[in-house]
Amino acid sequence: MTKKRDKETSASRPLGKRIARWLGWALLIWVLASVAGVLLYRWAPVYYTPLMIIRGFEQKADGREWTIHHKWVSLRYINPAMQQAVVASEDNLFAEHHGFDVKQMEIALQEAREKGKPLRGASTISQQTARNVFLWQGGGWLRKGMEAWFTVLIELMWSKERIMEVYLNSIEMGDGIYGAEAVAQMNFGKSARNLSRSECALIAATLPDPLHRDSAHPTPGLLRRRQHILKMMRLIGPIDLSR
């Protein structure tokens, strides 16, 4: 009788309440899974990312061979100048902020309002790492909200050194090329630890658009951007991520 009564009670609940309950459980499972994933990657190497898989399908759709060049290496096997270069190019306050560069966000919003320009990205290295490792590229409020969530998680659960290590191993650095070690071997014929400061700056110069900016065959514009990054690297000096 009790089981029968429970079934009748469940069936008599309004559909809206049942859907809300299912959504609540789904959200809880997703939160727990995301926390577990971030905790796992606090130590485990990231061998594949959603972007790598997406790019592979895009290659197949274009009639090309599925190609992924990626080799995970510890941060100590990457020239420290590479850290300087990406901080100079992508996120000057990486060592200081807690995942979000509020000042750059405000500047981007102000430019969009005053000059009528499209809202430009102001993503930090932490945000880019969250997006590359756990999500997909593109816009939309859902993806942006999830990116913010994962950014908070990695800033809470990883050190700055770990964020930089994952970033330099997972970021897209060319067509089918991911990470500093892969781009060093493919485009310069050497390991990431043997890259010169100039080569590190050139790689960093491609990061806003690595599918159309080739560090192996730099254009005059790309070389000018490299010089700007080298200047910024001298101003920034050595990067201290030990906090």
Q: Are 201 and 226 in contact (CB under 8 A)?
A: yes
Q: Look at residue 167 and give its three-state secondary structure.
A: helix
Instruction: Supply the mean pLDDT for the chain.
Output: 88
* Sequence-ordered list of residues with C-beta below 8 angstroms from that of 124, at least 6 positions apart, any chain: 90, 91, 93, 94, 97, 99, 100, 101, 151
Residue 207, pLDDT score = 92
Residue 118 has pLDDT above 80, yes or no: no
Distances (CA, A) of 150 to 27, 134, 153, 210: 14, 8, 5, 23
The pTM of the full predicted model, rounded to 2 decimals, is: 0.86
Q: Are 204 and 86 in contact (CB under 8 A)?
A: yes
In angstroms, the CA 83 to CA 169 distance is 12
Q: Are 191 and 77 in contact (CB under 8 A)?
A: yes
Query: The domain 16-236 is classified under which CATH number: 3.40.50.740, 3.10.20.30, 3.50.50.60, 1.10.3810.10?
Result: 1.10.3810.10
Higher pLDDT, 118 or 134: 134
Report the percent of the chain where pLDDT is more than 70. Answer: 86
Residue 4, pLDDT score = 52
pLDDT band at 109 (very low <50, low <70, confident <90, very high): low
What one-character-per-residue DSSP string does 100-160 give? --HHHHHHHHHHHHHH---------HHHHHHHHHHS-SS--HHHHHHHHHHHHHHHHHS-H
Average pLDDT estimate for 193-202: 97
In angstroms, the CA 135 to CA 215 distance is 26
In angstroms, the CA 35 to CA 152 distance is 11
Residue 117, pLDDT score = 55
Residue 15 has pLDDT above 60, yes or no: yes
Residue 107 has pLDDT above 80, yes or no: no
Look at residues 121, 103, 100, 79 and name the one whose alpha carbon lies nearest to residue 239: 79
* Sequence-ordered list of residues with C-beta below 8 angstroms from that of 70, at least 6 positions apart, any chain: 47, 48, 52, 169, 177, 178, 179, 182
Residue 163, pLDDT score = 97
Sign of the torsion formed by the C-alpha atoms of 51, 54, 55 and 56: positive
Q: Are 123 and 137 in contact (CB under 8 A)?
A: no
Higher pLDDT, 208 or 85: 85
Residue 122, pLDDT score = 67
pLDDT band at 44 (very low <50, low <70, confident <90, very high): very high
In angstroms, the CA 203 to CA 184 distance is 9
